[in-house]
A and B are shown apart, each in its own frame.
Chain A
Amino acid sequence: MKILNCPLNGPRNISEFVWGGEVKEHPALDCTDEQWVDYAVLENNTAGVVREWWYHVPTAYWIIAERNTVTDEIIRTYPARELFKDRVEFPAPAVKP
Chain B
Amino acid sequence: MAVQPATLNRRSFVYRELAALGATFREVNGCAVAATLAAGRAAEIAAARDLGLADLSGLRRGGYKGWTALDWLRGQGVAIGENNMTLKQGDGSRVARLADSEAMILGDLAGGSALLDRVEAGWSITGALGAYPVPRPETNFWFAIAGRHSDTMLAKICGVDLRPHRFPDGAVAQTSVARMSAIIIRHDLGATLGYDMIADSAAASYMWTSLQDAMDEFGGRPVGLDAIVALAAETGPA
User: What are the interface flags for A41-68 relative to B under an 8 Å C-beta threshold, 1 for contact and 0 otherwise?
Assistant: 0000000000000000111010000000
Q: What is the predominant secondary structure among interface residues of chain A facing chain B?
A: mixed
| Cα distance A69–B83 in the bound complex, in angstroms | 31
Q: Which of B3-11, B121-129, B173-181, B226-234 contacts A (4 or more CB under 8 A)?
A: B173-181
In the complex, are the beta carbons of B84 and A9 less than 8 A apart? yes
Cβ of A35 < 8 Å from any Cβ of B?
no
Cβ of A38 < 8 Å from any Cβ of B?
no
In the complex, are the beta carbons of A1 and B175 less than 8 A apart? no
In the complex, are the beta carbons of A8 and B84 less than 8 A apart? yes
| Cα distance A14–B82 in the bound complex, in angstroms | 24
In the complex, are the beta carbons of B159 and A12 less than 8 A apart? yes
| Cα distance A12–B173 in the bound complex, in angstroms | 10
In the complex, are the beta carbons of B98 and A13 less than 8 A apart? no
Closest residue of B by beta carbon distance from A58: B181
Q: Give the size of the chain A interface in residues (CB under 8 angstroms).
A: 11
B176 to chain A: which residues have CB within 8 Å?
13, 15-16, 57-58
Closest residue of A by beta carbon distance from B173: A9
Q: Which of A13, A15, A58, A59 has the most CB of B within 10 A?
A: A58
How far in angstroms is the closest Cβ of chain A from B183? 8
A57 to chain B: which residues have CB within 8 Å?
176, 181
In the complex, are the beta carbons of A13 and B182 less than 8 A apart? no
A/B interface sample: 27 pairs, CB < 8 A: A1-B159, A8-B84, A8-B99, A9-B84, A9-B173, A9-B174, A9-B175, A12-B159, A12-B160, A13-B159, A13-B176, A15-B176, A16-B159, A16-B175, A16-B176, A16-B181, A57-B176, A57-B181, A58-B174, A58-B175, A58-B176, A58-B181, A58-B183, A59-B98, A59-B99, A59-B174, A61-B99
- Enumerate chain B interface residues (CB-CB to A < 8 A): 83-84, 98-99, 159-160, 173-176, 181-183
Q: A59-B174, A61-B99 are in contact. List 10 more A-B contacts (CB 8 A).
A: A8-B83, A9-B174, A12-B159, A13-B176, A15-B176, A16-B175, A16-B176, A57-B176, A58-B176, A59-B99
